Structure 1
Amino acid sequence: MIGQIRQVMPHIKDSDMEELGEQVLGKLQSMTDEEFAEVVLESVE
């Protein structure tokens, strides 16, 4: 998933979206597998 986000990042022209994308990418990279699993499960519910 992180690889997919990285592929999209160069195509984002809106500076607000670019900043948000970088924040999301940074958060995802710093998450443990357990934290990521919790976020995914919350979004499914």
Structure 2
Amino acid sequence: MKRWESTRAARLAVFSWIARYNTKRRHSANGQLSPLVYEQQAASLELAA
């Protein structure tokens, strides 16, 4: 089990993980795009339609 030195350190670790997971992680269901890029493309397609 991982232990952090402080509550602040734990919060920063969680925030860093969430930011990476939500913006950089690629997934086959998204055509190997990150969720951020996929959402940006989807938004631009909706605006074009």
Q: Which has the higher contact order (CA 8 A, sep 6+)?
A: 1
The verdict on a shared fold, with TM-score over 0.5 as the criterion, is: no
Q: Which has the larger radius of gyration?
A: 2
Q: Normalised by the size of structure 1, how large is the TM-score?
A: 0.44
Report the TM-score, using the length of structure 2 for normalisation. 0.41
